[in-house]
Chain A
Amino acid sequence: MSGPHLIGTSALVDGRLLQDEQEVAIAEGPLEEMLRGLYQTLTLDYPKFHKMDAVSKLGLLLTEPLVRMAREHGADITNDMAIAGMGRSGCSTTDQEHWRVRTATGLASPAVFVYTLPNIGLGEITIRHKVFGPSVCLLADRPDAELFWNTMRCFHERDGTAWAICYWSDIFADRYEAKAVLIGPGSGRPLDQRMLRTLFDIPT
């Protein structure tokens, strides 16, 4: 198995979904409207999207270009792909919505409650793309290059998966952050921790 290489990147900045720094979709408006606009622009045709909470939608849109890219490179998404998701506030926005409904009505909404786990967005990505391989949901104050690097090594050297997506996504109030990298074998740039630090804009 060859060492890990950087195959591609994606990011969502100011309503622009970028793949390798090139715009692939753009949408405007408040967060939910913007996410819906990106979904339409990408013509995903995935009705489950509309049931998801915002942070799950964000993760799904962010990783969509990278999964497509992996397929174009011949990756076996189902059996040979791992995913590490990382965020700061987890599903806090949904937690607050669950608690608002709970206290306002005396009852909880099952449709909201099932999204009050930080890893559900990751689960949605595995469901959409039939990823049976390993995945881990990590929480940290800020993107952590060492944690991404070590986790990616675990996937590669311990679990034996050749392909991995590492992403940072976070939503709190109307602020969002979303960046992702696709790592795989072959002919890209050999990956190291310093490169991850640069890609995720982590100060040295």
Chain B
Amino acid sequence: MTISIGAPHVITPLGHDLATTLEAMREGRCAIAPTPVAPDLGGSLPAAAIPQGPWDGPSRTVDLAARAITRIWDQVDRGARGSGRWRWVLATTKGDIHELEHGDPEAAWLPAFGERVARKAGLDHDPIIISNACISGTLAIKHAADLVALDVCDHVLVVGIDVLSDFVLSGFTALHALSARPCRPFDNDRDGISLGEAAAALIVTRDPNIFTHGPLATYLGGGMGNDANHISGPSRTGEGLYRAVQAAFRSAAIGPGDVDHVNAHGTGSVYNDNMEAIAFGRCGVAQVGLNSYKGYFGHTLGAAGTVETAIALQGLREGVLLASLGATDTSAYPDLRVMHRSEPTQGRTLLKTSSGFGGCNAAIILRT
């Protein structure tokens, strides 16, 4: 069975849709900028916020997720929405954690958040909610494709969302994980992450004909693996990521030589990027053009896998491998082909990876 992906819509710190976001990235723009935070966090931190927009209702987070969903229907054949078996998957780490900050912890529970998003977006059933830290978005695409492959359903709407909050900013500050400047994934001088926010939606389906502009890509396979090592420190051998990529290769029935582009997790933390470099070397994809998008709009946590997959695929469709913004000196990784500048490409096959707290790792392979 061929599984297709399409109808992407993203809302990022660089734009309110995919075309605007990609254009800004092609221009090398960075959305990570001093952002007001609580005085006891220093009053300002580098972070990437979604620009002011028409977000309304009692919750900006719910509204962002719902708007990402409703905008995909513009890209789907009218008859398809009401026919076939649909599911939807929500990928997030903290959902609408502002509800807890405002004194209502039960409203912050993710099932309650999912219900509010469904209601706002006009969906008639609650989501499958995946909250696997920073791999949530990538794992959600894999899970959606698996459900279609198993004939559980015909189409799956995948939504990734996470927003900036004092809750998360204060936590990463306490971990001393934040860089004082825009993050620099895979650069020798990287010294921490930058946080961002995003909402992204796309459809995984058995029917490529439901898309008014055609499918974005074909899903070839995916894998997931655990480091089984530490809840907040990456494996020194890249074991979980290595296993995830190997599983994706098996599932896609391809090998490392078939991969044209790697869109890595690349947070800009010293240990994460080291881990990825080791894993990619073990997987045989170190010489494939590799980038991270965190230098453009920060780490969007549970949304990252969904938004980055959509951007990477659209980039391939437009024949461009984007620069890994912030990576100027990568001499510590002589074997890794980090994209120092954007380049044209004829390549079509993407390996997208994500890694997260808890030691989890996910990899998916798609072809435009």
The chain A residues found within 8 Å of chain B, CB to CB, are 78, 88-90, 92, 95-96, 98-99, 102, 106-110, 113-114, 116-120, 122-124, 126-127, 129-141, 147, 150-151, 153-154, 157-160, 172
Contacts and interface: CB of A to CB of B under 8 A. Distances in A.
Contacts of B231: 114, 120, 123-124, 127
B131 A119 contact: yes
Interface string B220-257: 00011111111110000001100100010011000000
A132 B223 contact: no
A111 B146 CA distance: 35
A78 B143 CA distance: 22
A109 B174 contact: yes
A99 B226 contact: no
Contacts of B358: 117, 119-120, 122-124, 126
Given A90-B131, A116-B94, A120-B133, 13 more contacts: A114-B232, A116-B171, A117-B131, A117-B358, A123-B357, A124-B231, A126-B358, A130-B228, A135-B360, A139-B129, A147-B128, A154-B147, A159-B223
A140 B129 contact: yes
A131 B228 contact: yes
A192 B170 CA distance: 45
B175 interface: yes
Contacts of A116: 94, 167, 171
Contacts of B128: 138, 147
A136 B139 contact: yes
B176 to A, nearest CB: 8
A36 to B, nearest CB: 20
A109 B172 CA distance: 10
A128 to B, nearest CB: 9
A187 B105 CA distance: 44
Contacts of B247: 134, 159
B228 A132 contact: yes
A60 to B, nearest CB: 12
B355 to A, nearest CB: 12
Given A113-B175, A127-B359, A141 B111 contact: yes
B130 A95 contact: no
Interface of B: 40, 93-94, 97, 100-101, 105-106, 108-111, 114, 126, 128-133, 139, 143, 146-147, 149-150, 152, 166-167, 170-175, 223-232, 239-240, 243, 247, 250-251, 356-360
Given A90-B109, A117-B357, A122-B358, A110 B175 contact: yes
B174 A108 contact: yes
A134 B357 contact: no
16 contacts: A89-B106, A90-B109, A95-B105, A99-B100, A107-B40, A113-B170, A113-B172, A114-B175, A118-B110, A120-B133, A122-B358, A127-B229, A132-B227, A134-B223, A136-B130, A154-B150
Contacts of B152: 150, 153
A102 B167 contact: yes
B269 to A, nearest CB: 14
